[in-house]
Amino acid sequence: MRYLIVGGSAAAISAVEAIRSVDQKSQIDLFSDEATPLFSRVLLPYYVAEELSKALLNFRSADFFEVNNVTSHLGVRVQEVAAASKTIQTEDGKEYPFDKILIATGGKPIIPPIPGIEKQGISTLKTMEDADRIYHLSGKSAVVIGAGSIGVEASISLTRRGMKVSLLEQLGHVLPTVFDEEAALIIQKRVEDLGVEVITGEKALRFTGEDRVTGVITDTRQLNCDLVVVAVGLRPNAELAQKAGAEIGPWGGVKVDSQMMTRVPDVYAAGDVAETYDIARDTSFINAIWPCAFEQGHIAGLNMAGKKTDYAGSYRKNSIGNFIGIPAISMGVTHAESCTSRGPADEFREVQKKTKESYRKLVLKNGRIIGAIFVGQTQKAGLISILLEKKIDVADFIPLLMSSRLNFVDILPLLRRNADQFVEPEYKELMDTGL
């Protein structure tokens, strides 16, 4: 058996570990177009902020490939996957055979067609090369375009470096895909308190400067700067899989079955490139977050090695509190109107509770939690996630779930009522003893 893995981040590394847990001897070749694998992308803002050295970004030791008997091809781009002949071709024209292949090519930054985008001093923040470029750029001011998680963290990182930073978001509030407006206002105030100028509802129209960027022109103003970080989002890097015959889903990712295999036999996909079952949405979706990539890579690796294992699905979880200094968590569907799995008889409901410095929201579909937001006080998020994952009807328990005194004992009646869904020993033991 010969395994090929295309990619070098969370899903790819997790797949290697899963394969080796079943098959210790077969050949594994890993190809990554990045020359620096094994680093955590979520830690790149800390490197840019000069708070973590490059060595501390690694989530596995430098001898990982040697220990796991993996032949690594770093800085090598795979150009084609020929499913019929079970070979790949790299950019330098070399061919490699495979029996099973995992495509874990992740996402790629969206580059908006803004005039002047090619100027020096403008960068995305996705790879180690990006982070190095930003780290070594000097200047007194910066503009970050896009106020998603990457944009918010990048703006704070550069502020900690002593730069004057403007964060530009064309939608109405920061973190628009993971928090609603009420939560975003609390977070935005905290970001502003950290020294970032936040500008919402304005669009970058063009960049000024000759060869090097000197400013950003928006609808209403000019922002002078020495550096621009473009963080408007990611799209699945699915072209390689599509050329191999994999089906592309409605979100632009590679469609896979419950064992992470595409419609092409022996061709698997996992991580930010894959569309998998979303528990909250009850349909396929791309949950492009680190924990989901690790879990999907693990399931793919087990199945590639012959240990049949089904992926139960996932849902999006975002936490940005560690970086901004205020706990903030979102999970699942955060805007009821954005849920695409709607039927004519479906009933959606949003329940909110707000204080001066905290905010809590539940999103329900037919009495079941499909999403939640916690800002300021996040201690109960774990209990809510249990109810979301198990698709439990909580319609009669809303006041209790919104209470700050909620604890595990309070949700035991709900768990007992749905005990057939719970196989985790720790839950059964708690339910049997009654605490």
Q: Is residue 29 part of a domain?
A: yes
Same domain as 126, residue 72 = no
Q: Token pair 């020294």 is at which residue?
A: 195
Instruction: Say yes or no: 352 and 392 in one domain.
Output: yes
Domain that holds residue 82: 2-42+56-109+234-304
9: DSSP letter:
S
Alpha-carbon gap, residue 316 to 282, rounded angstroms? 12
> Does residue 310 sit within a domain?
no
Give residues with Cβ within 8 angstroms of 93, minimum separation 6.
none
**Domain closes at, from 250, 270, 304:** 304
Tell me, yes or no, whether 347 and 405 share the same domain: yes
- Domain holding 173: CATH number? 3.50.50.60
Q: 339 Cβ partners below 8 Å, 6+ apart?
A: 281, 333, 348, 363, 365, 370
Are 298 and 243 within one domain?
A: yes
Same-domain status, 259 and 299: yes
The count of other CB atoms within 10 Å of the CB of residue 374 is: 23
User: Based on the domain organization, do 88 and 132 belong to the same domain?
Assistant: no
Return the minimum-mean-pLDDT range out of 172-176, 292-296, 340-344.
340-344
Q: Looking at per-residue confidence, does 127 or 411 come out higher?
A: 127
Boundary-marking domain end, from 272, 304, 336: 304
> Are 238 and 104 in a shared domain?
yes
C-alpha dihedral, 387 to 323 to 196 to 47, nearest 10°: -140
Give pLDDT tens digits for 372-400.
999 998 988 999 999 999 999 999 889 98
* pLDDT tens digits along 16-50: 999 999 999 999 999 999 998 899 999 999 999 99
| Tokens describing residue 133 | 């470029």
Same domain, 139 and 97: no
Q: What's the longest Cα–Cα distance across the chain?
A: 72
Residue 323 lies in a domain: no
- Quick one: pLDDT at residue 422? 46
Query: Is the CA virtual torsion 217, 220, 223, 228 positive or negative?
Result: negative
The answer to whether the CB of 33 falls within 8 A of the CB of 74 is no
Whether 321 maps to a domain, the answer reads: no
Domain presence at residue 319: no
Please indicate, yes or no, whether residues 279 and 357 belong to a single structural domain of this protein. no
pLDDT of res. 292:
96
Which CATH number covers residue 372?
A: 3.30.390
Query: What is the count of structural domains for the chain?
Result: 3
Domain for residue 31, yes or no? yes
Domain boundary residue among 230, 258, 291? 230
Q: Do 176 and 200 touch, CB atoms closer than 8 A? A: no
